[in-house]
Amino acid sequence: MRILAVDPGLTRCGVGVVDLGQGRRVSFVDVFVVHTPPSAALSDRLFALHTAIDEAIERHAPKRIALERVFAQHNLRTVMGTAQASGVVLALAGARGLPVALHTPSEVKAAVSGNGRANKAQVASAVRQILKLDDSSLLADATDALALAVCSAWREVSGQSPENAGSGATPGSGLTPAQQLWRDAERHTPRPRRPA
């Protein structure tokens, strides 16, 4: 199974692609970082992200998208940019009917390094070891995207579907109460037709 993961951001957006093989074997496919200048108009920046990620989805044909879950920070501008970039990814996945798995940063760190509070260097080292990469010059956004892809792949092995990936699930359902309400609302909401 091929997984495309996005570490969302407006200035730097990491995109990593891995293949999940037998057991927990994960192999490297591609990684890149999309840069957009802070001085550019927001619409231009989002369109640049849309174009780059859409091309990556077209080129790699993933079966699943992994996305870092937006979490609260003190910097409202950073949170807004991350949320806007996430919206682009979610829309692209929705247009193609691809399932999306959302993972928290601590969940990703714990999956690849065994420590939910690992620093960037520890995560990067773990990713290089797991994927057998020699390149120590990868940007943090690139290694974060690959870590996210590995985490999502291993969640797949453990039997968690994209809609119930994440922490805080209620026993039996795999979903938090908020996720259950959201899922139920989505099931009862008519979806717009996709253009042919």
Of 19, 30, 55, 68, which is the active-site residue?
68
| Cβ-contact 80, 10 below 8 angstroms | no
User: 34: which 2 tokens?
Assistant: 């999309």
Considering 7, 107, 144, 156, which one is annotated as catalytic? 7
Contacts of 46 (CB under 8 A, 6+ apart): 10, 84, 85, 88
End-to-end CA distance of the chain: 26
In the annotation, is 141 catalytic? yes
186 an active-site residue? Answer: no
44 classed as catalytic? no
Give me Rg for the CA atoms of the chain: 16
Distance, C-alpha 101 to centroid of its chain: 7
Asked if 17 and 66 count as a contact pair (C-beta separation under 8 A), the reply is no
> Distance (Å, rounded) from C-alpha 28 to C-alpha 96?
23
Which residue in 58, 134, 135, 141 is the catalytic one?
141
Give the residue numbers annotated as catalytic, written as ranges.
Answer: 7, 68, 141
